[in-house]
Amino acid sequence: MEENSENNKLSYKIKIPIIILTVITLAVMGALFVKIAFSISSSEKKSNSYQYLQNVGDKLRDKGLHQQAIHQYIEYLEKAKINTASRTMIAHTIGQMYIELSNCQEGLMWLFQAEEEETTYHRVDELKKDIDICLTQINSLQRSNLNTK
């Protein structure tokens, strides 16, 4: 009987720390799960929160304020995590606005970025036409500069 009593004391000495450690482990795992869940949802909200930059850029472009629209689009590209198709479309739009501002040197940089993803881009023909326009304009400027020298 005394042996049985000693076994119970020993088993309680082992059981209590195990139960306490189990409860602590479950609490830590629960806190970790909650933290991961909130970090995933906050990153989705953050990428959507930059959508206003593209919307403002669209409105400015429609009103003919190309320089301000370009600034909004570039800020959007820097901050938002967007897919390649959207990035290509915005780069092409920026290039087109630089063409309208008669700044083909800057426009070509954006058009060439868009061209890198041309296999998935739905406006490839228009993109190639814009690149040709810029290259023609730059070549004619270079020729006129050589003729004036």
DSSP 33-63: HHHHHHHHHHHHHHHHHTHHHHHHHHHHHHT
Query: What distance in Å separates the CA atoms of residue 73 and residue 57, rounded to the nearest whole number?
Result: 6
pTM above 0.85, yes or no: no
Q: What pLDDT score does 16 carry? A: 85
Contact status, residue 90 vs residue 54, Cβ threshold 8 Å: yes
Higher pLDDT, 140 or 9: 140
pLDDT in tens, 73-119: 999 999 888 888 888 999 999 999 999 999 999 999 999 998 887 66
Cβ proximity of 79 and 105 under 8 Å: no
% pLDDT > 70, the chain: 83
